[in-house]
Structure formats: C-alpha cells, structure tokens
Amino acid sequence: MQRRPVGIAAILALAIIGDAHSRTVYRCVRDATVSLSTAPEPGSKCEAKTLDENAAMLPNLWGELGVFSGTLYEWKAPDGVLIYTTRRMPGATPYLKFTVETPKGSPAHEGLGQLGKPRLDAHAPTFRKAAKARKVDDAFLRAIAHAESGFDDKAVSPKGAQGLMQLMPDVQRDYAVTDPFDAAQSIDAAARHLRALLARYKGDYALAAAAYNAGIGTVTKYRGVPPYAETIAYVTKVQALHARYRQAMKLPPLDPPLRAAQ
C-alpha cells in the first residue's frame, strides 16, 4: 500500500463513500487526539459535521496541525455497520495511507504550531511558586505558556497580547500587571486568571482554555467551546500539552479525563 499525499477534502470525501446523499462526518476526540469517522466512535466524544456539496470548500475539521500522515481504516462496528475512520480501532483494516497539510491560519496568539516536547526548565521556579500560591495545576499553567508563546517573555501577538503568557491589556489591568514582559508578573497573573476561570467552569479545563483564548463572553455566548477553528485547535493543543506536561512531571493522569474540544 502506497502513501499518497492528499488534501483534507479528499480524506473527507473518502469518508462519505457509500452513500451519495450523505454529507456527514464525525469529528471524534479521545485522549487529546482528533480523528474523523463516518459514524461515532465508541469511547470517543464525537460531533457530527455537515459538509458542503463542493468538496473544495470543505471545512478543516482537524485544526492547525501542520503536515501530518495517517491511515484511513475500514472497521466493522459491533452492530455490523461498516465504518471508515482515521483512528485505529480494534480489528480495523488499513484502507488508505495519506499525508495531509492542514491550512495555516492567522492565530491571535503565537505558538499555535506543532506541539514540541515539554520544557520543564523554562522559568521552572516561577511556575512552581505561582501554581502553589494560586492553587492551579502547574502542568496546566505550563501548557498554556507553551501554547501561547513557546515561553518567549518578549512575545507580542497581532491582536495585542503580550509577554510569556500572552496577556491581553484588559487582563493586565484586572491583575495589576505593570510590566507584561516580566516573566514573574506574567505567570502570576495568568495563574490567578486561570484559577478564576476554572472556578467559573467548575474545573473544566477545556472551557478555561477556551475562555483564555477567546474570552469569557464568547464562551458564554456559545455555551461551550466556541465553534472557531482557532479556538478549537487551541483547546485541543492545550489538552495535549497538559497531558504531556503531567506525564513529564510524573503526575498521575487527570481523572476524569480532560474534556474534549467541540
């Protein structure tokens, strides 16, 4: 079987083979990984997406993941229904290998590219101090920093976010930040802000991350993670980084698991 470079539209087109009138694909999230399927996957949190008739106009359901390779599998579900999915289910048969290049957007914040390895050395004492003082998971705080700026304390986004934690001016005012490029002030303010968000959303890390990215008002408007490509990609990335940092810091996995982005 050869690996064929194809666009995301082609993969989704394959996902709807078999029913000329069906234009629904499921975006499924499990363990901070995203897959596409012709039906909901057992064990995953799935959301149905209706596709346009014109394949060239199909939405990017994976998010901003850069160039990556995978396999489309053919799998017979327990109820006998034949399903095509990009996740390897037990007993699934490889149907097609593919390489996909997801679109590059214009994120509000820096650092929305590839995940990269956890960086435990960057401002470690400051993260530990802020996390302990503000009662926030140190791994979550570092995951946000990793996703926002890649630990660059001089970072500035096109939309005005500044510093290591990419604090917007209104957040800086709320937490009396006098120098957004001072790593200690930035980390402490972000820890306080995340603590408030987690309290608001009853410990839901996905909603806290979504509000950090898109604002509390936007999360309230949509009653959950906003349906913005940037925010969905951001939340998915933070979830993956959160899990990686907890593992790197030898912390137990979260129970219950992180809430999936929708």
pLDDT computed for residue 62 by the predictor = 57
State the Cα–Cα distance between residues 262 and 226, nearest whole angstrom: 8
**pLDDT above 60: residue 135:** yes
Are the beta carbons of 91 and 75 closer than 8 angstroms? yes
State the Cα–Cα distance between residues 128 and 206, nearest whole angstrom: 22
Q: Give the contacts of 223 (CB within 8 A, at least 6 positions apart).
A: none
pLDDT computed for residue 198 by the predictor = 96
pLDDT computed for residue 100 by the predictor = 59
Strand 67-76 vs strand 93-101: parallel, antiparallel, or unpaired?
antiparallel
**pLDDT above 90: residue 103:** no
Task: Write down the catalytic residue from 41, 53, 110, 148.
Answer: 148
The residue that leads in pLDDT, 65 or 36, is 36
State the Cα–Cα distance between residues 239 and 250, nearest whole angstrom: 17
State the Cα–Cα distance between residues 37 and 77, nearest whole angstrom: 12
**pLDDT above 60: residue 149:** yes
Are the beta carbons of 81 and 31 closer than 8 angstroms? no
Task: Record the pTM.
Answer: 0.59
Q: Which helix (H) or strand (E) holds 169?
A: helix 169-174
pLDDT computed for residue 215 by the predictor = 93
**pLDDT above 70: residue 102:** no
pLDDT computed for residue 207 by the predictor = 93
Are the beta carbons of 1 and 62 closer than 8 angstroms? no
**pLDDT above 50: residue 179:** yes
State the Cα–Cα distance between residues 140 and 120, nearest whole angstrom: 12
State the Cα–Cα distance between residues 251 and 238, nearest whole angstrom: 17
**pLDDT above 90: residue 159:** no
Which domains can be identified in the chain, with CATH numbers? 3-101 (no CATH), 124-248 (1.10.530.10)
**pLDDT above 50: residue 205:** yes
Cα 101 → chain centroid: 17
> Quick check: is 148 catalytic?
yes
State the Cα–Cα distance between residues 195 and 133, nearest whole angstrom: 11
State the Cα–Cα distance between residues 105 and 159, nearest whole angstrom: 14
State the Cα–Cα distance between residues 124 and 220, nearest whole angstrom: 33
Two tokens at 3? 């690996």
Model confidence over 38-97: pLDDT tens digits?
A: 889 888 888 887 765 443 334 556 555 555 567 888 899 888 888 888 888 999 998 877
pLDDT computed for residue 227 by the predictor = 81
Provide, rounded to the nearest whole percent, the portion of the chain with pLDDT above 90. Answer: 40
Number of Cβ atoms within 10 Å of the Cβ of 113: 14
pLDDT computed for residue 202 by the predictor = 93
Q: What is the DSSP letter of 162?
A: B
State the Cα–Cα distance between residues 166 and 261, nearest whole angstrom: 21
The mean pLDDT of the chain is 79
Model confidence over 11-30: pLDDT tens digits?
A: 444 444 444 444 678 888 87
pLDDT computed for residue 252 by the predictor = 86
The residue that leads in pLDDT, 61 or 151, is 151
pLDDT computed for residue 16 by the predictor = 44
At 154, the pLDDT band (50, 70, 90 cuts) reads very high
**pLDDT above 70: residue 253:** yes
Cα 157 → chain centroid: 19
Provide, rounded to the nearest whole percent, the portion of the chain with pLDDT above 70. Answer: 74
Least confidently predicted of 65-74, 190-199, 232-241: 65-74
